[in-house]
Amino acid sequence: MDGKPDFENMTYEEFLKTAKMEPTVSEDCPLFQAIQMIGGKWRMPIVYQLSKKESYRFGELVKTIRGITKTMLTTALREMEENGIVKREQYNEIPPHVEYSLTEKGRDLFPVFFALTKWWSKYY
């Protein structure tokens, strides 16, 4: 062990104690890193949309995520693919096409959606 807290096996109470011990938010903080990976205007809506069915073609995603441009979708999908959240599969058929789906890492965000939904329902 490298002296870092074991967040995966930590209780909520232990997390609160650990968080209070940190003097400042830093780039090596796991929460900061997670927010960097899934934060931004479009990443969570993309992951949420991808959670609704097995896979989507690019054009389907553009149509189902209101307000997103093709450029922003391309950028976000590439970044999430690099981070292992989204899988890109190219089909060399006629016509060729690409499909996007969530990896296991991406599907593991579902409890986060549930927690955010509960939080929103409680206060708004």
| Contact between 101 and 52 (Cβ < 8 Å) | no
| Contact between 67 and 46 (Cβ < 8 Å) | no
Domains of the chain, first to last? 29-123 (1.10.10.10)
Residues of the chain with pLDDT under 70: 1-3, 22-25
Give pTM, 2 decimals: 0.81
Give the DSSP letter of residue 9. G
pLDDT at site 3 = 64
pLDDT at site 121 = 94
